[in-house]
Every structure is written in structure tokens, then in C-alpha cells.
Amino acid sequence: MKLSSSVFASFCLITELLGIALFLRGFFPVPIKSSLSSKSKLSDLPAEPVVGSNPNSTKVPPPLFNRVVIVLIDALRDDFVFGPSGKRFMPYTRNLVESGSSHSFIAKARPPTVTMPRIKALTTGSIPGFIDVVLNLNSQALLEDNLLWQAKNTGKRIIFYGDDTWVRLFPKHFLEYDGTTSFFVSDYTEVDNNVTRHLDSTLKRDDWDVLILHYLGLDHIGHISGPHSSLIGPKLLEMDDVMKKIHTSVITTEAEGTLPNLLVLCGDHGMSETGSHGGSSEAEVNTPLVLISPAFPTKEDMGEPVVVEQVDLTPTLALALALPISQNSVGRLIPAVFEKASLREQLRYLHINGHQLSSLLRDSNPGFHKEDGYEQFQMAEKAHGSWMKLYVEGNTSEVLSNIAKKVLKQYLEALQAMSAALSKQLGKYDMYSMMVGMSLILQILVLLLLAMPEALSSAACVDLPLATTFVSLPFYLLVLLGSSVHVLVCTSSEASCYFCSLPWLLAFAGIIFSSALFCTLVAMAARRALKVDNKQTKTSSSEWTLTELDVLLLIGTLGHTLSLASSSFIEEEHQTWYFLLNTLCLAVFQDVCRKYFREKRRTGEDEESLLLLSTVEEKGASFSPVTELGVSADSEKWLALATPLLTLACCRMLRSLNQTGVQWAHLPDLSHWLNSGDHKVFLSLLSVLSLLLIFLLVQRHCSLVSKIALALGLLGVYSYRAAVGSVLFPWQHSAQAMSKGTGEAHFVYVFVLGILFTGVKDLLQSQVMSSVVDGRRLKSRGLWEVYSGMVLLVALLFRAHNLPTLACCLLIQTLMAQFIWKRLHYDAAQTTIMHYWFGQAFFYFQGNSNNIATVDISVGFVGLESYVEAPAVFLTAFSTYAGPLLWACHLVCYLSSERDRAVSLGHSSYCFALLRSIPAVLYIMLVTALRYHLFIWSVFSPKLLYEAMHTLVTMAVCLFFTFMDQDRTRRP
Amino acid sequence: MWEVEIRGMASAHALLAGSVLVGSLMPALTVENSSVYGTHLVWLYSVSACIAVVNIAVFWLLGISPPTKKNTLSYKLSRLIRSCLYFLLSCLFFHTVVVLYGAPLLESALETFSLAVLLSTLTTLRCLCMLGPNVQAWIRVFSRDGAMSVWDTSLQITTGCSVVGAWLGAFPIPLDWDRPWQVWPISCSLGATGGFLTGLLAAPIWIRWHRKQLTYKLK
């Protein structure tokens, strides 16, 4: 099957996008959420099951504890308390653990073992997935149902000292708080002193019910020097002191007639042997959990601590304080804590926990009936009911307590099964879907690479041997193999993957497609190998000669892809692009110098270029600078020489306009200076200049109507910015109140649509035109009009301080097109790679970064009274990717108005697809390999989302290319 | 013929490499508490000075540079002044390029300029010594197939290697390792020096390896 290069590129990108979507679905597990949007209430609690009679009591069992102190020590590993170092450095706590009235456990944390998700897990009882973390970057506060909210809602007074993550997660929850920032890792004494200094006064007071202390010092020591450092001992001794202080003042001295108090010592995560955390090794996952209260029986010997889940603390605390269990909790209560309660109450606690888990299971798993835990719970509930009947009837025999113990056991088993079923769905990568998606995109990348010689040939056609594939035996074998693997994986007991839950017809189609792709690949590779063999017999020397520019473009593309393996280079990716772009400009400058200085001696060349010029003039093509800008041939040389330098200067200016990244993001930049209120005049002047420049540069290719529309539109942009209050309006006398500028924005939208409509009309008209030359000219004009429409929209969406970015972008495009790409005879592939690099650099010039937080969401509200999802999402995506889109669009316009454009559009769309696929595919493989990396959710996951989005944008661009390339086949 | 020239060049290069070594050791022996990282600028200028002295000694005094037609004092003086001017201009040029690459404009301008001086010493000074202050000759040497002698080829290679070394030296800067050599401009100047040494080593080997293909037309 023969496909033209552009169609082939679009096909590849669409397939790749499907693969990436599948991968993302597997990479980010869907969080388990209860279907109820509100939070649990006490009144929602189920009645106590009693067979035969009406439920007589829905009351909650009384609380077990009066006040609770939670001491959370960051990165407290289990052996720091239970191991030999606990004996040496935490003698008081160890004494309590071994012979005090306490319960000790090893609480297993789930990866990502990083503080914020762990705090969420401890308070909500759910297991936050990566997508949660990524998507909640903008809304800092925890909106989910959680223990602290429940406590506050029932009037408990909470005091918090420690890591300010808590303050951000729970604003307005605390009666009193003092957050310490965990930014300076090298400080490990001040952070803890800031917590401890409040301790004495707080412990004396009695106006609080819950006290939470979060100590960061230990974690910081771990990051500096690891778990065996000499700093650990003193820090643990300090913590032991804190424990002693709290224990003596709160736990042992309690007033008569009130309930006992509770002291909880826990860690959010452990630390690995190198002192870091984030992964899933034993040392990072195991944390101690010690509950100390006079209510517990005194122990004789310590024994081995029981292993529980970290999230089990949530329902335990909730029930012990008579609060509702938060909705999305997957934990189960720790039975040891409730040992002293009566049997009836114990059963009641278990029933409440089981009911909550079963309703969560019902909401999150469509096949909940088949789950063992669910059935067990139903049975236990029935048995509980009949026991209650006996109990209510006043039966008090030995038999009754035996039955109760049996029911208790049933409940515990049911809870364990349900909790396991729930947490299995969470916090686990769906490897099967990830692998399927990855193999698909990997095949596409190999296909693109194999097709390179054909796609970039003068025919710009790729011959896919599909027909032979479908009749070959290996294809059917592969399909069989794929189907059997699919069935095997999906029927295996643990599987809960997305690809399996697809309808089988779709999955089967996917398998067929993938096998066909693989066979095609092999066939193409074989053909290529054969051709190379033939060629080698004919000509031994290679015919490929690379210029310095080609080498740079190749090295840059590969080097950038490799740099994605490092988290720092992802954070500072803009530096890579700026660096490459600068080098590119210098290389171009060298080429220009070579052309105008060195080769001048070869007079033949000169004459040739003169000849070229004259032919261009004869044809009246729109691109000769001589005709267009009134530039003489001599000054053209100087302009050509100045262009790369001007580009360099522009880039340097734009670079200091918006600081992005992580390491240097805090440095002052021009945009801060411009936006600081005192410099409004400068900002206004700059905006006016930029808008004027934009108009001058864009209007050249447009028809008269579009020119007027553009001018009015740009005026509208300025008045919109003035209405919003970011720039000054010269004839605005009264100090008008700031409006949302909806009217002005609508005014601009009308012109954007108008210009786009004219452009599309011209494009369509050119398809039906009989004369080739006229048709081509009309098409070129139509394309430029579409382009100017886009520019106008971008001008509206960009903030005022970013307007110079747009102006510089247009200036560089115009100059480069006039003097560089055209004059130096760069081919379509080279031009495309340069456009791609410029697009990437401008993506960062506008202030974007690889962090979700830099996406400017306010763009979604331009011209809208309230939030409407579809336009808001479109506008945000458009303005975020404005740089790459504008450059791609310029490429179409530029290539279409060239004379030898016959194949260049195909070539360049193929190049776009390849340039996007190489980093995307390799990055996805990297992310899979690094999925337990410490920074996986803070650095790698956001970048993954950016890569996916960028691929989507590139696909749209490629479809546009394909559409523009179509008439070539129709009209040769 | 080839052997003699290559051997001569190798010994000249060995001298230059030795000068880098001497330049590195000198501050360590004379200045107290000096280290390549801590007192980087001292190291940088010491290396630059050593290379400059050896370069001038080898190429100018030993007469490898093209013989001048006029031999009057005033002509020599004007050549000297022009050379100094070119050197200064090249420092400014490198400074501008480094700033365009993203070095801070005002802050640490001294560091940036020192790097420019080092780069000029490694590249421009050699050109000045071997070709004289003659822009036409420079353009000839650095354009495609412009080399007319073994020395031209070696100049191309060492200059290219120095610049590429400085270019590569910028890569570790964004990494968050907090190492002393990531401070501006240490990694770049170390990269440039390393590139220069590599070029010195590579040039004789490369020329020897390609001596069959190399044909110098005008020779």
C-alpha cells in the first residue's frame, strides 16, 4: 500500500497517540472514590443489625480516648525504634514499648513514599495515586473527606506544629499552628526547635483535643548523610526527650472521671540505606507505629510488632474518637486497640468499618459481588444480627461469648479481604496496559525510522507492504500468540488492568493491528537490508555527506532526548533548548558568512544567484526581498548577515523576560519588573510597540479586508488589556472600575473568526480553481490569512508582558524566511528541524516549564463570563502551545509559497512526526524504567503529561499538513 | 617530508601542553591556599599567560609564521598593535557570545570576561601567531578545504576542539549536584582547556592517519 509521506506521518502520530493514551491509563491508576460527593456524617451510620426486630439503636459507640497527641517524625524507620538503635537512642520510648501500657506495630507505607502523599494517606485513609498528586497541584487544600475535617466538624480543637505541608493541606482546620518549611534540607536543628519550643506551653493548657507534631529534622539528616550517620543518634535522643515530655505531662497525669488520653508515635515513611526515600524498598516502607495510653494493658515482654498498613490508623483513630470513618478510607481498624471494650461494642466497631469498606468497594469495583470479602461481610453481618437478637433477649451464657468471638473473626477476615481488594486497585502500575501501549509506540518509532529513506525521497511516498502481511503465516501466528497472552494475563487472578476491561472486540482489533504492524516492520527491514546489500555491491563509498549544520541538528535532537533521563535536565529543559537554539543561530551565521565572503570569489555562483533572482522577479513570487522590502542586492547581504545576530539578540532578551524552571525561577526577570505597577507606562508602551510590529509583519500577505480586520482586532486586543487593567489607555479619563473586558474580547473574537473564515474560504476556492498559478497564489494567501487569524488570537490570549515574545517570534520568522532559509537553499527537512527547535524554545520563552503549575489557567476566562469547560480547555491549551503552533503554522505557509513545494510539505510533516516521536517514545521507556524514582511524581509525571499533550498538538499540526498536501496528488 | 613536519608539530604541541601544566602548577606553588575551584580566576589567568608565552615563543620566534615582505620596524610595530587590537576584539566577541548563551549580563561580568580571555588565548592567539593579523587568511583557513599546510589543519582542529570543549562544559551547569566545579565559569573553562589539550593530542594523530587523503593544493 502506497501512502504519501504526510498521510503516513499523520497515521503514525494517531497510532502513537492511542498508544500513549493506553500507557497513561496504565501509568496513572484511577483513584478509588466513593460515589457520594459529600462527606460522611454520623447520621449515615448503619444501624446495628438485629434479626427480627426493628433496628433499635443507631448510636455510635462512645469514644475511647479524651485527648490525642500525634507525634509524626519524618522518615522514622522501624529499626530506629524497634531495632538496636532504638535501644541506644530512644531509651524512654523503648521502655514504654517493651513494658509500658502500649501497642506497637510496623506500619507499611505505600509508594510513593514522599511526605505529602503520606500525609494524605494518614488523614484520609486512602492511597493517593500519582495522578492525584499531579492534578491537585493547583488546589492545595485537601478537599476529600478526612479525619481532621471530621474532627473539626464535631468541635474538636486541633493544634498543629511542624511541616507546613499540613497547613497548606488543611487551611482553617487548626485552632493554632506554626508551620516550618522543609525547603532547606541542610537545616536539621532549627526545624525541630521551631516545633519543640511550643511544646511546654501547649502541654500545660487544656483548651485542645488533638495535638499534631510533625518533626522534619530526621528526614533532613537522612538526606544529608544517610541512616548510619553520627547525627542520627542525637536526633533520636532529642525525639525521645519529646516523647518523655509528652508522656509524663499528658498520658500519666490525667484527671479523674475523664477518659484516658492517647499518644501516637509514627513515621510517614522510612529511609533507604542511602538516606533517600520515594521508592518501595523495605527500609523506605516500614515505619513504626506506637500507641500509648493508660487504657491499654501493661505488657510483660515486647515480642515482634505486628505488621499493619499505614492507612489502618485512620479508621482506628476515627472510631476511637467516635468520629465517622472518612469515605475513601481503605484501612481496617486495629483490633488490639479495642480489646477492652465490651463484645457488643467491638462487634459494632467492626460492623461500622465493614459497612464503610463494603460501600466503597461497591462504588469502585463493578464486580464487587464476586469479591470474597464482600460475601464474607454479608455473612458476618447476618451472624452479627442473630447474635444481637440473642443478646437483646438477655441471654448471657458462655455460648453467647463464643458465638461473638466467631463473628468477630468473621468480621476481621472480611475486613482484611475487602481492604486488600481495594488497595490492590490503587498505588500499583497497570503494567500490562503500559507494556501494550509502549510496544505500540515503539513499533511506530521503528516504522518511522525504517521509512526514512522513502519518506524523504523525491517521490515522498512510503510503500507499506500490508498486502503481503495479511497473507503471511507469521502474522496469523502472532495474532494467535497475542490473543493467548491477552487471555492468559486477563484471566490470571491478580489482573485488574484497563486493557483487559476493554470490550474483547476492541482488544482483539488492537492485537491484530499490533501484529500487522510488527509483520510490516519486519518486511520493511528485510527489504531495506536487501537494498543496502545491493547498493554495497554497486558503490562502496557512502554518498551521504553531512554538513556541520546537519551534524548539529542530529546531535541536538539526540542529545536533548538523552538529557530527559535526568530530573535536573527536565526541570531546566528550557536551558537545553536555548543552548541548542543559540548554537543553531551561530551555525547559520557561519553558513551565511561562508556564502557571502568565501564563495564570492567563485563568480559562477554569483551569476547563478543573480539568475535565480531574475527568474523570481519574472514569476512575481511573493518572496523576493528585492521587490518586497525595496532592498538592494548589496544591502541584502548585510541584512542576511545581521539576521542570525538579531535572532540571537532577540533570544537573549526573551530569555530574561520570563525566568522558568526550578533552580533559577526565583531570580527577578523583566516580566516582574514590567508587571510591578510602577512601570505600567513602560508596559503600555512596549505593548503598543509590539502590537504595531505584529501588524506590520503580518499584514503583508493578507488581502485588504483582512488587513483592516487585523488592525481593528489588534486595537481590540489593546483595549481588552486596558479594560482588564494591565495597561494604560491614553484617552481614558475617568478611573473606570476594572471590568472583565468581556465585550472587548468578544470584539476581537469576531475579527479572529472573520479572518479565519476568509482564509478558509480562499483555501477552498483555490481547490476548485482551474488555473494552477492563480490557484496556488490564492492558496498561499488563504494560508497566510489563517496564520494571521491565529496570531490575532494569540495576541489576545497572551498577557501584556508576553506581547514582545509574539512580536519577536514574528520578526524572526519573517527575517529568517526572507534571508536565510530561502537564500541558503536549506531543504525541507532542515527547515523543519529548525522550526521545531524554534517552536520548542518559544514554548519556554513564553514562560512555560515542565511543571503543571506554570500553565496559565486565567486564559480560559478571556471573554467568558463564567467557567465553560470546552472553550476554556481549548483556549488554555492553545495559548500554552502557542509557540510550537505558530512556528508549525509558519512552516506550512512558508513551504506552500515556495516554488519547489511539490514534496516539501510531505517531507516536513514526516520530519515533524519523527521529531516528536523520538523524544516521546524514549521518554516513555525511561519513565517506565524509573517508575520507582524519588522524583517520579514531582518531575517525571508532569513531564509525561506535557509530552502526551505535545504529541496531541503535533498530531493536529500534521493533519493540517496532510490536508494542505492533498491537492498535490490531485493536481500534479 | 610528512614525517618531519608531523614530528615538529607534535613537539610544538607537547610544549603547549606542558605550558598548560606549568600554568596549573604555578599558582599552587606561589599563591597560598590556591585551588582550581577556590581561586579559579588565578588559575585561569596563569594558564592563559603560560599558553600565550609559549605560543609566541614557539611560533613567532622560531619563525613558523609566514615571512613578512617588509621588515621595517614601523611595519612590525603596526602588526603588533593590530594583533593586540584583534586579541581585544576577540575577547569582546567571545564575551558577547557567552552572554548571548545566557550568562548573566551584569553579575559576574569579570568571570565571563575571564572565560572570554581564556578562549581567545586558546583560539585567536594561535591564529595571530601563525597567520598574523590578516583576516583574509583567517577566513581562508576556516572555510571548507581551506587548509594549505599541516599547520593550518592543526589550527583548525585545536581551535574547534577548544570551542566545542567550552560548549560541552556548559552542560553540567543546570544539574542540581551542588558541586564546586559547577560554579560559573569553572566547568566551561575546564572544558575549554580539556578541549584544547585533546586538540593538541588529536591533531598530529589525525594528520598522520589521513596523510594519504590530505592534499594541499597550493603547496
Q: Please state the ipTM of this predicted complex.
A: 0.91
CA B57 centroid distance within chain = 15
- Per-position DSSP letters for A708-754, written without gaps between them: HHHHHHHHHHHHHHHHHTSS--TT--S-PPP---HHHHHHHHHHHHH
Average pLDDT for A208-224: 88
Q: Identity (one letter) of the amino acid at A907?
A: H
- What is the C-alpha separation between B154 and A449, in angstroms, rounded? 37
For the segment B144-203, what is each residue's pLDDT rounded down to a tens digit?
A: 667 777 888 888 899 999 999 999 999 888 887 778 888 888 999 999 999 999 999 999
What pLDDT score does A228 carry? 85
Which segment of A316-320, A924-928, B31-35 scores lowest on mean pLDDT?
B31-35
List, in sequence order, every residue forming a beta bridge with A276; answer none if it has no partner: none
Contact criterion met (CB < 8 Å) for A575 and B102 = yes
How many angstroms away from the CA of A260 is the closest CA of chain B? 50
Query: Which chain B residues are Cβ-neighbours of A651 within 8 angstroms?
Result: 100
Q: Residue ranges per domain, chain A?
A: 2-28+430-534, 66-338, 341-426, 548-598+630-901
Average pLDDT for B24-49: 85
Asked whether residue A256 carries a pLDDT value surpassing 90, the answer given is: no
Average pLDDT for A526-553: 73
How many angstroms away from the CA of A224 is the closest CA of chain B? 12
Ranges A22-31, A148-157, A770-779, A850-859, most confident: A148-157
Asked whether residue A637 carries a pLDDT value surpassing 80, the answer given is: yes
- What is the C-alpha separation between A323 and A377, in angstroms, rounded? 22
How many angstroms away from the CA of A940 is the closest CA of chain B? 15
- What is the C-alpha separation between A739 and A814, in angstroms, rounded? 36
List, in sequence order, every residue forming a beta bridge with A632; answer none if it has no partner: none
What pLDDT score does B188 carry? 93
What pLDDT score does A967 carry? 60
CB of B219 closer than 8 Å to CB of B149: yes
- What's chain A's average pLDDT? 83
Chain B: residues touching A (Cβ < 8 Å): 97, 99-102, 105, 139-140, 143-144, 146, 167, 170, 173-177
- Location of C-alpha cell 517514545: A921
Query: Which chain A residues are Cβ-neighbours of B167 within 8 angstroms?
Result: 583
- What is the C-alpha separation between B26 and B119, in angstroms, rounded? 20
Asked whether residue A902 carries a pLDDT value surpassing 70, the answer given is: no
List, in sequence order, every residue forming a beta bridge with A159; answer none if it has no partner: A176, A211
Q: How confident is the model at residue A37 (pLDDT cuts 50, 70, 90)?
A: low
For the segment A113-136, what is each residue's pLDDT rounded down to a tens digit?
A: 778 888 888 998 887 766 665 555
Query: In chain B, what's the furthest Cα-to-Cα distance?
Result: 58
CB of A827 closer than 8 Å to CB of A710: no
Query: Percent of chain A beyond pLDDT 90?
Result: 32
Q: Quick one: which H or E segment has residue A860?
A: none
Query: Which chain B residues are Cβ-neighbours of A648 within 8 angstroms?
Result: 100
How many angstroms away from the CA of B73 is the closest CA of chain A? 32
Contact criterion met (CB < 8 Å) for B102 and A655 = yes
Among B97, B102, B174, whose Cβ lies nearest the Cβ of A568? Answer: B174
CB of A124 closer than 8 Å to CB of A314: yes
Query: Which chain B residues are Cβ-neighbours of A579 within 8 angstroms?
Result: 101-102, 170
Chain A: residues touching B (Cβ < 8 Å): 566, 568-569, 571-572, 575-576, 578-579, 582-583, 586, 594, 597-598, 648-649, 651-652, 655-656, 661, 663
Strands A158-163, A210-215: pairing kind: parallel
Average pLDDT for A451-466: 84
Asked whether residue B139 carries a pLDDT value surpassing 90, the answer given is: no
Average pLDDT for A871-896: 90
Asked whether residue A627 carries a pLDDT value surpassing 50, the answer given is: no
Average pLDDT for A629-644: 77
Asked whether residue A666 carries a pLDDT value surpassing 90, the answer given is: no
Ranges A137-151, A727-741, B90-104, most confident: B90-104
Asked whether residue A531 carries a pLDDT value surpassing 80, the answer given is: yes
Asked whether residue A732 carries a pLDDT value surpassing 80, the answer given is: no
What pLDDT score does B211 carry? 76
- When computed from its CA atoms, the radius of gyration of chain B, rounded to whole angstroms, is 18
What pLDDT score does B195 carry? 94
Q: What are phi and psi of A186, to 5 degrees?
A: -75, -10
CA A631 centroid distance within chain = 49
Query: Which chain B residues are Cβ-neighbours of A578 within 8 angstroms?
Result: 101-102
More confident residue, B185 or A57: B185
How many angstroms away from the CA of A675 is the closest CA of chain B? 21
Q: How confident is the model at residue A92 (pLDDT cuts 50, 70, 90)?
A: very high
Q: How confident is the model at residue A873 (pLDDT cuts 50, 70, 90)?
A: confident
For the segment A937-971, what is each residue's pLDDT rounded down to a tens digit?
A: 778 888 998 999 999 999 999 999 888 877 654 54
Ranges A407-411, A966-970, B66-70, most confident: A407-411
For the segment A559-609, what is each residue's pLDDT rounded down to a tens digit?
A: 999 999 988 899 899 999 999 999 999 999 988 888 887 655 443 444 444
- Per-position DSSP letters for A11-38, written without gaps between them: HHHHHHHHHHHHHHHHHSPPPP--S--S
Q: How confident is the model at residue B216 (pLDDT cuts 50, 70, 90)?
A: low
What pLDDT score does B64 carry? 57
More confident residue, B161 or A297: B161
- What is the C-alpha separation between A427 and A438, in angstroms, rounded? 20
Q: Which CATH architecture has domain A66-338?
A: 3-Layer(aba) Sandwich (3.40)
What pLDDT score does A359 carry? 87
- What is the C-alpha separation between A343 and A363, in angstroms, rounded? 30
Best CA proximity match to B114, nearest among B67, B44, B161 = B44
What pLDDT score does A145 carry? 85
Average pLDDT for A215-233: 86
Query: Which chain B residues are Cβ-neighbours of A598 within 8 angstroms?
Result: 139-140, 143-144, 146
What pLDDT score does A30 carry? 67
Asked whether residue A52 carries a pLDDT value surpassing 90, the answer given is: no
Mutate to test the interface with B, among A579, A589, A844 (most CBs of B within 10 A): A579
List, in sequence order, every residue forming a beta bridge with A290; answer none if it has no partner: A104, A265
Query: Which chain B residues are Cβ-neighbours of A586 within 8 angstroms?
Result: 97
Among A571, A598, A652, whose Cβ lies nearest the Cβ of B99? Answer: A652
Average pLDDT for A470-477: 87
Average pLDDT for A302-320: 89
What pLDDT score does A619 carry? 39
For the segment A324-347, what is each residue's pLDDT rounded down to a tens digit?
A: 888 888 889 998 888 888 888 888
Coil, strand, or helix at residue A77? coil
How many angstroms away from the CA of B29 is the closest CA of chain A? 35
Asked whether residue A709 carries a pLDDT value surpassing 50, the answer given is: yes
Q: What are phi and psi of A413, to 5 degrees?
A: -65, -45
Q: What are phi and psi of A823, to 5 degrees?
A: -65, -40
Asked whether residue A422 carries a pLDDT value surpassing 60, the answer given is: yes
